[in-house]
Amino acid sequence: MNKLLLFGYGNPGRGDDGLGPMLVEHIGQLQLAGVTCLVDMQLLIEHATDLCGFDQIIFVDADMSCQEPFEFSAAYAEKDDSYTSHALTPAALLHVYRHIRQGAVPAAFLLRIRGYRFELGDVLSAQADNNLAAAIRKIRQWHAQHL
């Protein structure tokens, strides 16, 4: 069986920015076979070690500029402008992983869920909640097809 890391990141204290962790926490409650769940506020260089031992990784984040309800795309290892010790992109984190492991990275994907309200103290918007439900269905479908 393939092993999937579902990694949600974002700040739940900023309304829709918490969509990534919300999705991952929901999926974690389902205890799907082969799925490991991880959440944090942002991607850090230290997370490169968390990627070890997985066949696939899906990064989950909120995005105010993607299409509704979400966009799902491949993620590739590459050094980019976020390549510092704070707040990496998935591409930069995969690049760090490849550099440390001296080899290929697991197949990786980015699920960006459309959000609307990102101010400190905002609550989850109704539109984002609907988009979250659609993204949860996508992950359950992914699991049924790939694991």
Do 139 and 27 meet the contact criterion of CB atoms below 8 Å apart? yes
pLDDT single digits (tens) 95-121: 999 999 888 899 999 999 999 999 999
Residue pointed to by tokens 């992950």: 139
Proportion of the chain above pLDDT 90, given as a percent: 87
DSSP annotation of 139 reads H
Average of pLDDT values for 122-146? 96
Intra-chain end-to-end CA distance of the chain, in Å: 6
Q: Which of 96-100, 106-110, 124-128, 131-135 has the lowest mean pLDDT?
A: 96-100
Give yes or no for residue 9 having a pLDDT over 90.
Answer: yes
- Amino acid type, 45: I
pLDDT single digits (tens) 23-57: 999 999 999 999 999 999 999 999 999 999 999 99
pLDDT, the chain, mean: 93
Tokens at 58, concatenated: 């899906």
Give residue 83's pLDDT: 53
Give yes or no for residue 134 having a pLDDT over 80.
Answer: yes
Give the Cα separation of 102 and 18 in Å (integer).
Answer: 33
Tokens at 18, concatenated: 């918490």
Give residue 79's pLDDT: 85
Which residue spans within 1-147 are E strands per DSSP? 4-9, 35-40, 56-63, 70-75, 107-114
Do 62 and 15 meet the contact criterion of CB atoms below 8 Å apart? no
Average of pLDDT values for 69-92? 84
Domains in the chain: ranges and CATH: 4-146 (3.40.50.1450)
Secondary structure of residue 42 in the 3-state scheme? coil
